[in-house]
Amino acid sequence: MKLNPIELRVIAALIEKEITTPDQYPLSLNALTAACNQKSNRDPVMNLAEQAVQEALDGLARKYLVSNQAGYGSRVAKYKHRFCNTDFGELKLSSLEVGILCELMLRGPQTPGELRTRAERLCKLSGVEEVEHRLAALMDREEPLVARLPREPGKREHRYAHLLGDEEHVSVEAETPAPAPAAGRESDRLAALEGRVAELGAEVDELKRRLEALTEALGA
């Protein structure tokens, strides 16, 4: 499942509104466009035209990821996602996994702490440990949905990213070890020097012992 940025935004917006405003779901094209262009809880903020959203919907329909739920004779199309937990697909996720994955799709890579705060509106998380547990489950699937990114210099927490986009840099970045911080490299170099000094000190002590033994032997 590789989706372009607009398709990702459309799917994530449909999942979000199904959870947060169920009375207004499924969404019309107009409502969905407004949800995609929403300024809160979005990164990046988009300014999509209805035509772009419609083209994304058409592409998602061909992938069986959305459906038109308008009733017979209805003048307005209403769209519903079929991303997961449907009778038409094999992807099954818990409500917590759906909330976390949706948040990653809406706002990009985030730390467990950020997800704990931001995904609260989509699912009830007991704490950061719960987030980390669910992220591990999403990573340990036969086809992983999430990857842990290298820790950024000066940061204490790793960020996590979804693997549903068509951008290759996410998987490459996730597999590339993060460079050691400058302070870490300096510490390693200092430790190596201290080890070498200790070795030289031991050699000097051994030479002194041998010299003293030789001196005693010659004196006798």
CA angle 208, 212, 215 (to 5 degrees): 135
Contact between 140 and 134 (Cβ < 8 Å) = no
What is the predicted pLDDT for the residue at 194?
56
Q: Which residues pair with 78 in a beta bridge?
A: 28
Architecture of domain 93-179: Orthogonal Bundle (1.10)
DSSP for residue 91: -
Domain boundaries, the chain: 1-90, 93-179, 182-220
At 188, the pLDDT band (50, 70, 90 cuts) reads: low
* CATH T-level assignment (fold) for domain 1-90: Arc Repressor Mutant, subunit A (1.10.10)
What is the predicted pLDDT for the residue at 177?
44
Contact between 21 and 38 (Cβ < 8 Å) = no
Q: Over the stretch 27-82, which tens digit does the pLDDT of each residue have?
A: 999 999 999 999 999 999 999 999 999 999 999 999 999 999 876 667 889 999 99
What is the predicted pLDDT for the residue at 125?
93
What is the predicted pLDDT for the residue at 53?
98
